[in-house]
Structure 1
Amino acid sequence: MPLLPPPPSLLRDASLFLDFDGTLVPIAARPDSIEVPPSLLDLLAHLQKRLNGRLTLVSGRASADVLQWLKPLQVAVVGSHGLERAGTATDRPPALEKGIALLRAVAERHGGVLLEEKPLGAALHYREQPAAEEDCRAAAAEAAGLAGLQVQAGKMVFEIKPATGNKGSAVRLLMSEDAHRGARPLFIGDDLTDEHGFEAARELGGAGILVGPERDTAADYRLPDVGDVHHWLQTSVEALS
């Protein structure tokens, strides 16, 4: 049965967790070529105020990268698929550099493949070179094995990352903190990596909202695209006033 759009009332008494790429901003050919309109900063600031700070961005990007795009707005960010919290020191996997060297060789061999290095892992983006998918997949598997990490597949990307956490574990941790107690988690995301967030939100009495086309998902509702996410958030936050 097709998923319905979420009702505006869903935002009331919620702790809101938002993915970034593909949810708040359209996915671009390269991670550094996205566009963040001023209207999005205004919307996030309004949400943060109306939700009494219960707003967190949970992204595959490094947390510092997300914050750089959102300047001058200050908002809570958990990066690296739930493993890296802004303002908190994290230990870089000891063998990561060896894995990155393997990924770099693939990126150099295939024009258009981009290597994105992160504090706790690295990603091969092949959106501009779809023919390199299998080489990227194999290289990520080899690099993960070498560095003692796991492979996380996403939209036109293979990433190596620690296996110790994900977006769902980040939601569970945050919901145990005083600032979120008594609220219902609401997770909005588009990628396979967001499924962990949907599952955690449902487990804790909240809901997930899938962004994009229909698919097998743990989400409870769906919005077609980024523009619909902005419209729903704006409508919902106005309903709180």
Structure 2
Amino acid sequence: MPLPTPPQTLLRDAALFLDFDGTLVDIAERPDAIRVEPALLGLLQTLEERLQGRLTLVSGRASADVRAWLAPLQVSVVGSHGLERDGVTVARSAALDEGLSHLRAVLARHEGVIVEEKPMGAALHYREAPAAEQECHAAAAAVAERLGMEVQPGKMVVEIKPAHGDKGTAIEALMAEPRLAGTRPVFIGDDLTDEHGFAVVRRLGGAGILVGKERETEAAFRLASVTEVHRWLTQASEVLA
């Protein structure tokens, strides 16, 4: 059965968690080629005010990268799939540089593959080199096994990251903070990496909203595109006014 559109009243008494790429901005061919519309900054500022600070971006990108794209807006950001957040420090693997060298060997064999270095891991993007998918996944699996990390697949990307955190664990930790007591979590995301978050908010009595095409998911609702996300968030913010 198709997932319904979320009701515009869903954000009442809610804590809102938002993915970034594929949710607030359209996915680009390269991570540095996204476009952040000026109207998005105004929308996020309005949500921050009307939710009284109960707004957090939860991204696979480094938190500093997300903040740079959203400057000068000041908003709470959790980065690196939940591993970067206030008060939490995850050590960078001492052997990660060696692993990056192995991943860059894939880059040398396939024009269009991008190695994105992250604070505690790395990502291989093959959107511009789809024929390299199998080799990218094999390289990521080999490096992850060697470093004691885990593989996180996504849309035309495969990542290696520490094994002890994800978007779900980050959301759960944030929901335990006194400032969010008595609220319901709502998480909007598009990728497989967001399923951890959907599962947690569902367990905590909230709801996940999937962005994009129908698929097997822990989300309760769906919006078809980034444009639809912007439209729905605008309408939902008006309900909060």
Fold shared by both chains (TM-score > 0.5): yes
Q: CA deviation at 1:145?
A: 1.1
Assess if the C-alpha contact under 8 Å between 1:115 and 1:122 holds in 2: yes
- Spell out the pairing of 1:205-224 with structure 2 (5 A cutoff): 205-224=205-224
Gaps of 5+ in 2: none
Matched residue, 1:115: 115
CA distance in 2, matches of 1:123, 1:19: 17
**Contact 1:184 / 1:204 at 8 angstroms: preserved in 2?**
yes
Deviation string, structure 1 residues 95-151 (Cα, Å, up to 9, x no partner)? 211211111110121110000000010000000000000110110001111111110
How far does residue 87 in structure 1 lie from its aligned partner after superposition? 7.4
Indicate conservation of the 8 Å contact 1:116/1:123, yes or no.
yes
1:67-86 map, 5 Å: 67-85=67-85
Q: Look up the match of 1:63.
A: 63
Work out whether residues 3 and 220 of structure 1, in 8 Å CA contact, stay in contact via their aligned partners in 2: yes
Gap runs ≥5 in structure 1: none
1:159 is aligned to 159
Aligned residue in 1 for 2:31:
31
Structure 1, residues 150-173: CA drift from partner, whole Å, max 9, x if none? 100000001000110100000100
Which residue of 2 is the match for residue 183 of structure 1? 183
Query: Which residue is equivalent to 1:227?
Result: 227
Contact 2:22 2:226 in 1 (8 A): yes
Match of 1:91 in 2: 91
In 1: Cα distance, 2:15 partner to 2:197 partner: 13
Distance 1:130 1:164 in 2: 30
Contact 2:83 2:89 in 1 (8 A): no
By how many angstroms is 1:90 displaced?
Answer: 3.5
Q: Which amino acid aligns with 1:85?
A: R
**Number of paired residues?**
241
In structure 2, C-alpha distance between the alignment counterparts of 1:95 and 1:15, rounded to whole Å: 37
Q: Percent identity?
A: 65
Q: Contact 2:107–2:115 at 8 Å: present in 1 too?
A: yes
Determine if contact 1:16/1:185 at 8 Å carries over to the other structure. Answer: yes
Give the aligned partner of residue 197 of structure 1. 197
Counterpart residue identity of residue 70, structure 1: L
Give the TM-score, by structure 1 length.
Answer: 0.98
Structure 1 CA distance, aligned partners of 2:150 and 2:225? 29
Alpha-carbon distance, 1:51 to partner: 0.4
